[in-house]
Amino acid sequence: MRWPTSPSPWPNASARATSSRCATACAFLLIIFKIATLYSPLKLFLPVSALFFVLGLINYLHTYIDTGRLTNMSTLLWSAAVIVFLIGLISEQITNLTYKREG
């Protein structure tokens, strides 16, 4: 059974609904990210850091076997892993200070 539809007064109503859904989904994911970083930041930052490290290791092994060299991309991924991990540690310390001050 189909619902009765009326013609839309806007010419691009379907495009507007799609962009609204995309904006709503992005806002929802941003809220989830904020909540995750508010309560336990390392649960979010540590897997991302580990992912960067593993990707760097895979890239290094591939290029070492193929050409016998260490590429810039491997070092960039390892650097990103360290930076993300350190940001997670700082975020964890800020969260601990916030809860210590409140409670």
Residues 73-90 have pLDDT tens digits of: 999 999 999 999 999 999
Q: Name residues whose C-beta falls within 8 Å of residue 97's C-beta, 6 or more positions apart in sequence.
A: none
| Across 12-27, average pLDDT | 74
pLDDT at residue 15 greater than cutoff 60: no
CA distances from 57 to 47, 69, 78 (A): 15, 13, 8
Instruction: Give the pLDDT confidence score for residue 52 in this predicted structure.
Output: 98
pLDDT above 90: residue 9: no
- What pLDDT, on the 0 to 100 scale, is given for residue 66? 96
Residue 72 burial class via C-beta count within 10 angstroms: exposed 0-12, middle 13-18, buried 19 and up? exposed
pLDDT in tens, 43-77: 899 999 999 999 999 999 999 999 999 999 999 99
Where are the domains positioned within the chain? 38-102
Q: For all residues of the chain together, what is the average pLDDT?
A: 86
Q: What is the pLDDT of residue 39?
A: 83
